[in-house]
Amino acid sequence: MADSSKPIREFKSLRVRVDDVVYMPGLDAPPDKPHPFVYFISIHNDSPVPVTILGRKWVVREDDGEVTVVEGDGVVGQTPVIEPGGHFSYNSYHVVASDAQVDGAFFGIAAGDRIFTRIPSFRLTVDDPPF
């Protein structure tokens, strides 16, 4: 178990890749946030020790000025253990009212240390509907 008195440190050997971001106007979305996006993420462990992902934090900054922070335990309902040289891939979605910039981080444990790794920034760009 990680020592909660130790500071959390950035773990550079955990690499996050945004594999794809897809605008999916056919998915259900609330009227105030009518633009759904599905994103595909891979977390790669380039370290010599297993890493357990315990949580995540997303910050979605919409171009209209609204900021939404999403924090929670695990990743898509899981707390994956990523072995050395391994990876964990998943997809999820978010709905927005306008184009947005997304940033975030994953939090976990490696060799008894509390760690985090940044998620590369990516854009949610609403495509013009076909005419």
pTM of the model: 0.89
Between strands 87-96 and 35-45, the pairing is antiparallel
Determine the pLDDT at residue 6.
75
Q: Is residue 24 part of a domain?
A: yes
Please, what is the average pLDDT of the chain?
A: 93
Domain that holds residue 80: 9-124
Q: Is residue 19 part of a domain?
A: yes
Residue-wise pLDDT tens digits, 60-74: 999 999 999 999 999
Q: Is residue 69 part of a domain?
A: yes
The CATH number of residue 107's host domain is 2.60.40.1470
| 20-45: average pLDDT | 95
Number of domains in the chain: 1
Q: Is residue 129 part of a domain?
A: no
Beta strands in the chain (DSSP E): 9-10, 14-23, 35-45, 51-62, 67-73, 81-82, 87-96, 100-110, 113-124
Residue-wise pLDDT tens digits, 42-101: 999 999 999 999 999 999 999 999 999 999 999 999 999 999 999 999 999 999 999 999
